[in-house]
Structure 1
């Protein structure tokens, strides 16, 4: 199985040992198939380097995560999806008060 994990899963995992996000990442690591794109790798590393995040995360978990990320399969993004995952954000662009990523 090949898996893509959201940056928030990784951040949550380095905040608390044995949390559900931590266990999910460990499972993916043990079973292989972690995918990354250049953009997701840059995003994750920049988020983890933020002072407010780095101050509250477990350093050894950050190091383990960096090693796992280095071993992930790099894939090229073929198509950019612009649909929002949050139904509340499925509002016409002209009426939005916040951007849809």
Structure 2
């Protein structure tokens, strides 16, 4: 479904004080960018019908109506350069 690297998880752990088992919701957000859409991330609890993917102990989840948005998404972070990169083919 989507790819989130370990450095991204570590960045969220530090920034949000996450522990193993915590969950982050990924969602579509209007942002006035080139495509008008970007990805939002917030703490939450997945429901039974959500798509859930665990990466290094953190659960990332998406509501069923927004699965299309994260299809084939790639999220990476380079701590050395503080560069955060997200590829969202759904809005390319």
Q: Which has the higher helix share?
A: 1
TM-score, normalising length: structure 2? 0.26
Q: Which has the higher strand share?
A: 2
Which structure exhibits the higher relative contact order, with contacts defined as CA atoms closer than 8 Å and separated by 6 or more residues? 2
